[in-house]
Amino acid sequence: MPQPSFGVDQFGDVVPDIFGERPSPRPRKASRLSAEALLDGLNPPQREAVLHEGAPVLVVAGAGSGKTRVLTRRIAYLVGERKVHPGSVLAITFTNKAAAEMRSRVIELVGNRAKLMWVSTFHSACVRILRSDIGRFGMARNFSIYDDADAKRLMQLVANDLELDPKRFPVRVIMNWVSNCKNELVDHETARARVSEGSLEQSYAEAYGEYQRRLAAADALDFDDLIMTAVHLLQAFPDLREQYRRRFRHVLVDEYQDTNHAQYALIRELCSAEIDTPPEVVSLSRGGQGGSSPPQVHAEPPELMVVGDSDQSIYAFRGATIRNINDFESDFPGARTIMLEQNYRSTQTILSAANAVIVQNAGRKPKNLWSDAGDGDLVVGYVADTEHDEAQFVAGEVDRLSDAGEARYGDTAVFYRTNAQSRAFEEVFIRVGLPYKVVGGVRFYERREVRDAIAYLRAISNRADDVSVRRILNVPKRGIGDRAEGAVADLAARERISFGEALRRVDDIHGLATRSASQLRSFVELMDAHEAMVAEGAPADAILTSVLERSGYLSELQGSADPQDQTRLENLIELVTVSREFVSGVAVLAAADYGDVDGPEDGQAPDGVDEFGVLRGGSLRVAEGRSVDPLTVALDPEQDLAAGAAEVDASLGAFLERVALVADSDQIPSPDAESAGVVTLMTLHTAKGLEFDAVFLTGCEDGVFPHQRALSDPAELAEERRLAYVGITRARKRLYVSRAVVRAAWGTPQHNPPSRFLTEIPDRLMDWRRTERAVTSWRNTSATSRSNTSWRTTVGYGAPKPQARVVPVLTAGDRVLHSTFGLGSVVATSGAGDDTKADVDFGSAGLKRLSLRHAPLEKL
Ligand code: ATP
Ligand code: MG
């Protein structure tokens, strides 16, 4: 068989000598589908987007209009019809899970050669760029990636050392400040130069600087660094940027509305027609040869397609900016915009409900989204007494829909605003035996024992990783106390070496007890023995098993009488299983972007406890998705093109990298799990891009959703409303909206008025199964005098359908009696008809915004 001519690029990947539209000489069984077949099932504007050539193109359209479908088909068309080499395609999705899905869709359409594409998240793509080229900044290519918890630990150390008052400078707040800087591509030197002396910000900037120094010393990057550093790298080295521009001839980005400035800058570096490198970036290279590269002849910019919906922008708290969508045409001159208007996902009723909510946001471009799926069922509304009753109602309906053949468990999802809300559903679902899966929440990789095990692996893989080394120095307890640790740290500081190096020089440490010294020595022996395993190329699972055994970690848990330790043991066994599967090539760690895909939650809860005071550590959750890991598929065209085989890098480094990039959306059930029939519980943020036959939007209470913090901030409220729009538009056929009158938070019952989003849905679209009127048993009694148990027994699931109630007419100054909050006076009213709201001052119970249609309120 004739061999195509291949060269090796700077990634070590074998690629054809000429990128672009030239057909590969190898006869391709890839082109399975004709051009017509690839365009099949697309409407005219969708086709246009798939066929478009040349100038940058933006597809803006509402939810469910086929944006993701267009993106996937376009890649298939590029490879299948335009004969673009798959290795020159870079597609960015929001989660690795979405990336895996997109890959397999394209492979289905055009065959195995599509495996050469880069389909990944921004973070994964940047890791790949950095692994290959970060050496130019004088950093090691095997750098560690610190996830959120590692970063927090490091920042805590920094804050302690800088003696920052924890009350004035909570670690989370410092971290957010630093994160914002990084998302804006502001490095610590620039940040330091910008703040004024003696200001609060000066302390943040100092912490930023110290934090970066320690990261660098540990050869580590945090998540925000991944993007920022990749951008700085491309800016500092025009020749490098040019290499990537020559490589990626087609760049496609899904969910563009959720890109932040740094991500935008990356796309710009890769795709902009005019390239401007600000001179100051030269100073950013850490000891590298910044900016010294000769000027380059620029390649034609690659073809760029981004798709998004500004109404679904829900990551502003992480620096995402709708600006990127709004300014696309000026950012990329000559760009074309294509709009899609037909929604293929939902019934007209569901769409109308979504539209009614989103139109309340000021300053948005109106959209004309329609569906020909018919009106379908009304939106079901339900007011429960407590969150337990709400869960009970949901469980009952899920069962009913399944029995009636309307929605299988696997086609049903329950959404809530914050992770902690899953608890009530889990309790009820377990009790009634309803199979479910929680996405996010208690994360496997955040468990202490799992983190300890990972810290061992990291310390072995990179002895300069101080955070990891110090984490496990005395875990399990081996008699190395704070004083010994402090002495090692002093030596490290004095000699400007890493903690790990200092450990290897025990003899230079003065005043160390003999016993401590010998403990340190045996710890070093343990680590050295495993470093040797790495050097010999032992696979990740062997190293993990060995270190868990030889460190005594397993035997300590085995010997413990504490039942929690049994769970810990199981989790470690699970981790070993994960590593085995990773090594054998069925990367169970499919899926997922990094860390927190949930929305911002109040970061007040102490570690290990959620905001409802519930201890973290529920059931074990491991990804079910089994797909080939996009990060570890070797880009060897010989193999890929011939056999479609994916070669897996089984090394410890590869495993750690994978682990670092995994997070909670890995647990989105795979199609297998769906057919097995599992209800999905997830936060609204995680639900982005997905669709389900039946959707339960729960906790619709002002103060819960919209989140408490958003009530006084119009910008945050607008973001919460977009979140509601995302939630509603996930539903294909059935939508339920529910709320609880009383909800436990930190153990104290709280009463929240109905979510304003509920009142924004027109009445004609609603079928209220139960309203607050039905909640009679507690009227005129004090809430706090009752326990949750009595709430549950008074009114449960299946209460009689309530009658319509008379909506009181109120004006400012009126006095009212609320069944829960007691006496109050009306401060202001707003809205009209069914939407009338009143702001009522209830004295010590606070100022509440009430929907007059729903509030149990009497005018006095
Ligand atoms: P979101 O904004 O929620 O990410 P989206 O715009 O990406 O939505 P898709 O997920 O691509 O929309 O499509 C929504 C649903 O509509 C999917 O089930 C998809 O298969 C289907 N769909 C899209 N276009 C068409 C079409 N032309 N004909 C039939 N079904 C379609
Ligand atoms: Mg989509």
Q: Where are the alpha helices (DSSP H) in 290-327?
A: 323-326
pLDDT score at 599? 39
Could you tell me the pLDDT band of residue 562, with boundaries at 50, 70 and 90? Answer: low
Could you tell me the pLDDT band of residue 605, with boundaries at 50, 70 and 90? Answer: very low
Beta bridge partners of 118: 90
In the structure encoding, which two tokens stand for residue 676, read together? 């097995």
| Helix (H), strand (E) at residue 643 | helix 637-643
* Span 96-111, average pLDDT: 86
Q: Which residues of 520-536 are buried (b: 16+ CB within 10 A; e: fewer)?
A: beebbebbeebbebbee
pLDDT tens for each residue of 346-381 = 999 999 999 999 999 998 888 878 999 999 999 999
Within 10 angstroms of residue 423's Cβ, the number of other Cβ atoms is 22
Ligand nearest to the CA of 313: 1
> What's the CA dihedral at 846, 847, 853, 855 to 10 degrees?
0
618 pLDDT above the threshold of 70: no
* Span 56-66, average pLDDT: 96
Q: Report the percent of the chain where pLDDT is more than 90.
A: 51
252 pLDDT above the threshold of 70: yes
* Residues in CB range of 142: below 8 A, 6 or more apart: 219, 461, 462, 653
Check if the beta carbon of residue 777 is closer than 8 Å to that of residue 802.
no
> Where is pLDDT greater, at 770 or 644?
770
Check if the beta carbon of residue 275 is closer than 8 Å to that of residue 237.
no
Going along the chain from its start, the domains and CATH numbers come out as: 35-121+248-279+298-342 (3.40.50.300), 144-218 (1.10.10.160), 349-416+678-770 (3.40.50.300), 446-475+477-551 (1.10.486.10), 583-656+775-859 (no CATH)
Least confident of 134-148, 482-496, 568-582, 699-713: 568-582
d(CA 534, CA 463): 12
- The pTM for the full model equals 0.70
Pocket test residue of 38, 39, 43, 65 for ligand 1, highest count of atoms within 8 A of CB: 65
* Atom 13 of ligand 1: nearest residue by CA position: 66
pLDDT score at 466? 92
| Helix (H), strand (E) at residue 230 | helix 223-236
Ligand nearest to the CA of 729: 1
pLDDT tens for each residue of 113-151 = 888 899 999 999 999 999 999 999 999 888 888 877 778
* Span 418-427, average pLDDT: 80
d(CA 148, CA 459): 18
DSSP string, 280-299: GGGGGSSSS-TT-SPP-PPP
Check if the beta carbon of residue 208 is closer than 8 Å to that of residue 181.
yes
611 pLDDT above the threshold of 60: no
DSSP string, 197-217: TTSHHHHHHHHHHHHHHHHHH
Could you tell me the pLDDT band of residue 564, with boundaries at 50, 70 and 90? Answer: low
Ligand nearest to the CA of 728: 1
Check if the beta carbon of residue 810 is closer than 8 Å to that of residue 818.
no
pLDDT score at 112? 87
Q: What is the Å distance from ligand 2's center to 258 Cα?
A: 12
* Atom 18 of ligand 1: nearest residue by CA position: 345
Ligand nearest to the CA of 70: 1
Could you tell me the pLDDT band of residue 847, with boundaries at 50, 70 and 90? Answer: confident
pLDDT tens for each residue of 155-208 = 988 999 999 999 999 998 999 999 999 999 999 999 999 999 989 999 999 999
- CA neighbor of 669 nearest in space, from 687, 695, 647: 687
Q: What Rg, from alpha-carbon coordinates, does the chain have?
A: 28
Phi, psi at residue 731, to the nearest 5°? -85, 135
Which residues line ligand 1 at a C-beta cut-off of 6 Å?
41-43, 46, 61, 63-69, 309, 312, 344-345, 689, 691
- CA neighbor of 62 nearest in space, from 261, 267, 304, 313: 313
| Helix (H), strand (E) at residue 804 | none
> Where is pLDDT greater, at 37 or 700?
700
Q: Which residues surround ligand 2, an ion (CB under 5 A)?
A: 67-68, 689
Beta bridge partners of 848: 840
Atom of ligand 1 nearest to the CA of 729: 3
Atom of ligand 1 nearest to the CA of 340: 6
pLDDT score at 806? 59
Encoded amino acid at 344, one letter: Y
* Atom 19 of ligand 1: nearest residue by CA position: 66
- CA neighbor of 655 nearest in space, from 712, 585, 738: 585
Check if the beta carbon of residue 409 is closer than 8 Å to that of residue 395.
no
Check if the beta carbon of residue 683 is closer than 8 Å to that of residue 417.
yes
For the chain, give the number of residues: 860
- CA neighbor of 311 nearest in space, from 600, 65, 70, 71: 65
Q: What is the Å distance from ligand 2's center to 681 Cα?
A: 20
Encoded amino acid at 486, one letter: G
Helix, strand or coil, per DSSP, at residue 272: coil
pLDDT score at 7? 33
In the structure encoding, which two tokens stand for residue 415, read together? 């959404």
d(CA 85, CA 24): 7
512 pLDDT above the threshold of 90: no
d(CA 271, CA 286): 26
388 pLDDT above the threshold of 70: yes
pLDDT tens for each residue of 2-58 = 333 333 333 333 333 222 223 333 434 444 678 888 899 999 999 999 999 999 999
Least confident of 242-256, 312-326, 437-451: 437-451
Residue with tokens 């610190």: 146
Q: What is the mean pLDDT of the chain?
A: 79
641 pLDDT above the threshold of 90: no
pLDDT score at 472? 95
Q: What's the N-to-C CA distance of the chain in angstroms?
A: 91
* Span 832-845, average pLDDT: 74
d(CA 123, CA 103): 17
Q: What is the Å distance from ligand 1's center to 615 Cα?
A: 39
d(CA 846, CA 850): 12
* Span 580-587, average pLDDT: 68
d(CA 852, CA 860): 14
Helix, strand or coil, per DSSP, at residue 379: strand
pLDDT score at 814? 80
DSSP string, 395-434: HHHHHHHHHTTS--GGGEEEEESSGGGHHHHHHHHHHHT-
pLDDT tens for each residue of 327-340 = 999 999 999 999 99
DSSP string, 693-728: EEEEE---BTBTTTBGGGGG-HHHHHHHHHHHHHHH
pLDDT tens for each residue of 253-286 = 999 999 999 999 999 999 998 765 544 443 333 3
pLDDT score at 100? 84
d(CA 306, CA 337): 10
Is the Cα torsion angle 229, 231, 234, 235 positive or negative in sign? Answer: negative
Q: What is the Å distance from ligand 1's center to 34 Cα?
A: 22
Check if the beta carbon of residue 634 is closer than 8 Å to that of residue 647.
yes
In the structure encoding, which two tokens stand for residue 804, read together? 């319509």
403 pLDDT above the threshold of 60: yes
Q: What is the Å distance from ligand 2's center to 464 Cα?
A: 41
Could you tell me the pLDDT band of residue 443, with boundaries at 50, 70 and 90? Answer: low
d(CA 702, CA 848): 9
In the structure encoding, which two tokens stand for residue 669, read together? 């059930």
Judge residue 558's burial from the number of C-beta atoms within 10 Å of its C-beta, 0-12 exposed, 13-18 middle, 19 or more buried.
exposed
The Cα angle at residue 821 between residues 820 and 822, in degrees rounded to 5: 95
Beta bridge partners of 598: none
Q: What is the Å distance from ligand 1's center to 343 Cα?
A: 7
Give the pairing of strands 822-830 and 837-841.
Answer: antiparallel
Check if the beta carbon of residue 233 is closer than 8 Å to that of residue 133.
yes
Could you tell me the pLDDT band of residue 572, with boundaries at 50, 70 and 90? Answer: confident
Residue with tokens 């090594």: 583
Active site residues: 67-68, 254-255, 312, 730
